[in-house]
């Protein structure tokens, strides 16, 4: 049987894991969660300059390394395992894939080169108050304004918007759905960070009031690029969910091996052994699904649309279940603020709804399968 990962990919995983262990200890994660910006820009630059993580799946013509979503999946899994507070998801997964899906433009080249170099943090403003993930859910409008455009609308759940150097906005024009680049510091742009369950990933409401914008790609041709972006988000989130689930299994198993109750380690009790065994099966299935869909994305497999949706739903539910089980296995300490289990559980519950609930993705999979 062929190995799941190449030697080069295995080395990438080991390198990223060492980096995360060095830069994203539990104490550092908690510190960054309470910081003003929510992440460390120096570490973000190190990720680009020393490891080249931001450039992995960006084509060489735009300053990238020219690898695939399989390598991005490895990075996302390790960042998820460490609960790393970084803008990797909105910048590399969302913004870069959205830009790659648009028509060629000087702006596209400029932004992708900045992302690859670790000089640009980007956010994508897609979802609105209707919380609809289809084309009909986009009500923000854009109209020509001289040589540029102006965008008006309210976007919710914009990930890491407070740290973005540029925000890519989905808006409706007379020609259809289009993508626009907006300077978050421009007049008519208000970024309001909101309190969310996940303390390690900031979200904001972005209000646009005739905000100056620049068209990315062709007018009316944005929906295909947005669809591609959402699909890649499902692929990446599956990997992050798998990484977080694996970490919860690891800390639960370690605790069960050492915690004694009534003169025996709790891992010797049948109820705990059974829960850990079930959790192991769930986590391994989740990781297999995440690895499979990342490979499908790398190979541009025709079955990717349904596989991405199914992997998204499966891994999201597994991550939440792993959070519940970890807290129960740890008992009283698992419920406390001092223990990391609640941080992972918060991320799991947030991820479960971040790009649509599991039922939404099961419906997507059914549609792609013609059911």
pLDDT digits (tens, 9 = 90+) for 234-287: 999 999 999 999 999 999 999 999 887 888 888 888 999 999 999 999 999 999
pLDDT, mean of residues 211-229 = 95
The highest-level CATH class for domain 7-116 is: mainly alpha
Residue 282 corresponds to which tokens in the numbers above? 């769930």
- pTM of the shown model: 0.96
Q: Which two tokens stand for residue 111?
A: 């932004």
Mean pLDDT, residues 79-99 taken together: 97
Task: Identify the bridge partners of residue 149 per DSSP, sorted by sequence position.
Answer: 144, 213
Write the class of the CATH domain 224-368: mainly alpha
What stretch of H or E contains 242?
Answer: helix 222-258
pLDDT of residue 3: 62
Q: Output the average pLDDT for the chain.
A: 94
Superfamily of domain 122-220: Butyryl-CoA Dehydrogenase, subunit A, domain 2 (2.40.110.10)
Higher-confidence residue of 304 and 146: namely 304
In this predicted structure, the answer to whether residue 118 has a pLDDT above a threshold of 90 is yes
pLDDT at 261: 83
DSSP letters along 186-230, please? Answer: STTEEEEEE--S-TTS-EEEEEEEEEEEEEESSTT-HHHHHHHHH
Residues 6+ apart with CB under 8 A from 296: 235, 303, 304, 307, 308
Which residues are 124's β-sheet partners? 168
Would you place residue 75 in the very low, low, confident or very high pLDDT band (cuts 50, 70, 90)?
Answer: very high
**Whats the size of the chain, residue-wise?**
371
* pLDDT greater than 90 at residue 108: no
Give the span between the Cα atoms of 136 and 363, in whole angstroms. 17
Q: Are 314 and 352 in contact (CB under 8 A)?
A: no
Domain map (residue ranges) of the chain? 7-116, 122-220, 224-368
Nearest CA to 239 out of 200, 294, 199 is that of 294
Can you give the pLDDT at residue 1?
37
Structure tokens at 20: 């995360």
Distance of CA 101 to the CA centre of its chain: 18
Alpha-carbon distance of 231 to 237, in angstroms, equals 10
Give residue-wise pLDDT tens across range 284-301: 999 999 999 999 999 999
- Summarised one tens digit per residue, pLDDT across range 31-71 is 999 999 999 999 999 999 999 999 999 999 999 999 999 99
Q: What angle do CA 67, 73, 75 make, to 5 degrees?
A: 85
Q: What share of the chain is helix, strand, coil (3-state, %, to 5)?
A: 55, 15, 25
Strand 122-125 and strand 166-173: pairing? parallel
């Amino acid at each position: 049987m062929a190995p799941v990962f190449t030697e080069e990919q295995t080395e990438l995983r080991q390198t990223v894991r060492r980096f995360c262990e060095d830069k994203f200890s539990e104490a550092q994660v908690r510190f960054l969660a309470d910081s003003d910006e929510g992440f460390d820009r120096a570490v973000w630059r190190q990720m680009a300059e020393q490891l080249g993580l931001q450039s992995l799946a960006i084509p060489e013509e735009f300053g990238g390394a020219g690898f695939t979503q399989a390598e991005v999946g490895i990075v996302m899994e390790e960042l998820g395992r460490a609960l790393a507070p970084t803008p990797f998801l909105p910048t590399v997964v969302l913004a870069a894939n959205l830009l790659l899906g648009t028509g060629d433009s000087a702006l596209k080249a400029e932004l992708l080169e900045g992302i690859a170099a670790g000089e640009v943090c980007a956010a994508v403003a897609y979802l609105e108050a209707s919380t609809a993930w289809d084309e009909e859910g986009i009500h923000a409008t854009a109209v020509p304004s001289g040589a540029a455009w102006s965008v008006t609308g309210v976007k919710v759940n914009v990930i890491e918007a407070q740290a973005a150097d540029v925000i890519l906005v989905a808006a409706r024009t007379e020609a259809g759905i289009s993508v626009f680049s907006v300077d978050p510091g421009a007049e008519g742009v208000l970024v309001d960070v909101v309190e969310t369950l996940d303390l390690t990933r900031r979200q904001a409401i972005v209000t646009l009031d005739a905000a100056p914008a620049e068209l990315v790609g062709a007018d009316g041709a944005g929906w295909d690029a947005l669809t591609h972006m959402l699909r890649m988000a499902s692929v990446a989130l599956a990997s992050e969910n798998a990484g977080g689930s694996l970490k919860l299994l690891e800390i639960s198993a370690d605790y069960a091996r050492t915690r004694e109750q009534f003169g025996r380690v709790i891992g010797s009790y049948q109820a705990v052994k059974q829960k850990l065994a079930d959790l192991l099966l769930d986590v391994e299935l989740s990781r297999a699904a995440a690895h499979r869909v990342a490979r499908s994305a790398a190979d541009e497999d025709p079955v990717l649309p349904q596989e991405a949706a199914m992997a998204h739903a499966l891994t999201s539910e597994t991550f939440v279940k792993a959070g519940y089980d970890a807290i129960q296995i740890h008992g009283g300490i698992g419920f406390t603020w001092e223990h990391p289990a609640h941080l992972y559980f918060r991320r799991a519950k947030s991820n479960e709804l971040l790009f649509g609930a599991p039922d939404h993705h099961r419906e997507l999979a059914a549609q792609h399968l013609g059911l």
